[in-house]
Amino acid sequence: MVASLGDDLRELQQQLCRGSLQRAYGSILDYMAQLRLHFARIHGERAVSALYQGRFDMTYFALFPPALRSRGLKLAVVFDYTSFAFEIWLAARNRPLQRRYRRLLSDNGWSKHRLVEPAVGIDAIVRVEVTDALALEETEALTVRIEAAAQALLDDLGCFLDTHDPPQAASRPGSL
C-alpha cells in the first residue's frame, strides 16, 4: 500500500527531529561545494558550472574540458541519492546531442564504462561509479579518487572521440 502525503510528511518530520538527516545532507552539500571550488581553482571558473543542490535526487556540478565542450558535451561530478554514491557522468548540452553521442558510443563498441539506457529524465550518457557515500569520511582521499575517475573517463573519451568523431577545430583532450 502506498503511503499518503500526510504519512510521508509525518515521517519526514520525525526524521528531521532526529537531526541526522540535516547533518548528513549538509555534509554532502558542503563537500560538493568544496570539490567544485577545488576544480575551479585548478581549471578556472569558466571550466566549472555552478553547484546544483537537487531535491534528494542528485547534487552535481559540471566540468567543461575543451575537447568535450567543443562537441556540446560535459562531465558531471554527481552525488546520486538513489545509488548513494559519487559518480562521474558524461552528459550533453541537450537531448539531440545526448542521443547522437550515445548512439556513436554504442554503434562503435564503447566498452570502457557503462552506457546508460536512454529514458525520460535521464541525463547521463556514460556513468562511472566512483565510490559510495561513506568515503565522505576521508575527504582528501575522496577528492583524489574523483579527480582520477574524471581524468580517466576524459582520457578514454578523448581517444574514442578522436577516432570516431574527429574534431573539426576542437582542442586535444589533455586534462580537465
Name the burial class of residue 48, with classes exposed (0-12), middle (13-18) and buried (19+) by CB atoms within 10 angstroms of its CB.
buried
- Tell me, what's the pLDDT at 40? 97
Interval 140-166: pLDDT, tens = 999 999 999 999 999 999 999 999 998
Every domain of the chain and the residues it spans: 5-164
Strand order in the sheet with 114-115: 58-63, 73-80, 85-92, 124-132, 114-115
- Tell me, what's the pLDDT at 171? 45
Interval 78-100: pLDDT, tens = 999 999 999 999 999 999 999 99
Supply the pTM of this predicted model: 0.89
pLDDT score of 115 more than 60: yes
- Give dist(CA 70, CA 170) in Å, integer: 6
Interval 4-13: pLDDT, tens = 999 999 999 9
Interval 34-83: pLDDT, tens = 999 999 999 999 999 999 998 999 999 999 999 899 999 999 999 999 99
